[in-house]
Copies of this chain bind each other. A is one copy, B any other.
Amino acid sequence: MRAEGDGPLAVIAGGGALPLAIADAARAAGREVHLIGIRGEATDAIERYPHAWLKWGEVGKLFSTLELRRCRDLVIIGSVSRPDLGNIRLDLGAIRNLPRLLRLGIGGDDNMLSTLVRFFEDKGYRVLGAGDVAPELLAGEGKLGSKTPSEADLADIAVAFRVVAALGRLDVGQAAVVVNKRVLAVEAAEGTDAMLARCAEFRSGIQRRDLSGVLAKAPKPGQEERVDLPTIGPETVQKAAEAGLTGIAVATGRVLIADRAATIAAADRLGLFLIGQTLPPDA
């Protein structure tokens, strides 16, 4: 663990397995951990750590919890649904910070997340990336499972990473699906799983026998990688298989693998390759 600070590490936890993986890694490295679960997003499993629960909008409670637990370092991790703004009750701390919080809602994802990081930093907190705390959660270089991509797969991967880079420069998305060098789908706000589901639907009528194509995933150039690394997991592999793809390529060191063992096992079981590639610096 690169980053040491005083007090426990606060993990602000959205959904999925990653918040606990981060907590486990930090504790294994000898650091005290305090989890702050977002109600409706984080799983109850966070309760096996010292924890608190927050609702969307309870910004004042968030800062009082961090204060009370003497946390100066924090990791923000896990999936979040876009909350229904009409149902959020703002607490006093939220209302005090309203102008900056409102700015979070405008512009692309990346703009929002950079603003979020600055929001915490301006208050004296240090925002760590998942990779700072648990580098072992990041995708490594080369083949991660047992299957090797073909020449045709490598050509599709190259096209897909080019598309993701171009989209990322516009703060659009982190993933694309390419089949025989043709871009089948591009991810914007819908998320990778939804994109893969539509590929599955789109391809179901066409050519089941002749499966091919890849999913590529990489952060946007200049993206705030501390709070929004692209993530894959066993479900991504499952959905890629259902979409008739032959494998998944991710940017080495810049994509999180939620539940690595299960993810690689799923890829091997379903016959998909899983590979990390180092992208050129401008990608």
Contact = CB atoms under 8 A, between A and B. Distances in A.
Nearest to A197: B198
Contacts of A99: none
A22 to B, nearest CB: 27
Interface stretch (A6-14, A54-62, A167-175, A235-243): A167-175
Interface residues of A, number: 38
Interface in A70-117: 82, 84-86, 105-109
B108 A207 contact: no
B207 A86 contact: yes
Nearest to A165: B170
Contact of A186 (B86, B180, B186): B186
Given A207-B84, A209-B86, A202 B183 contact: no
A181 interface: yes
A122 interface: no
Interface string A142-175: 0000000000000000000011001101111100
Contacts of A202: 189-190, 194
Most B CB atoms within 10 A — which of A84, A106, A185, A188?
A: A188
A153 to B, nearest CB: 15
Given A86-B209, A107-B181, 12 more contacts: A85-B206, A163-B167, A163-B170, A163-B172, A166-B166, A172-B183, A176-B188, A183-B188, A183-B189, A185-B189, A190-B198, A194-B198
A184 interface: yes
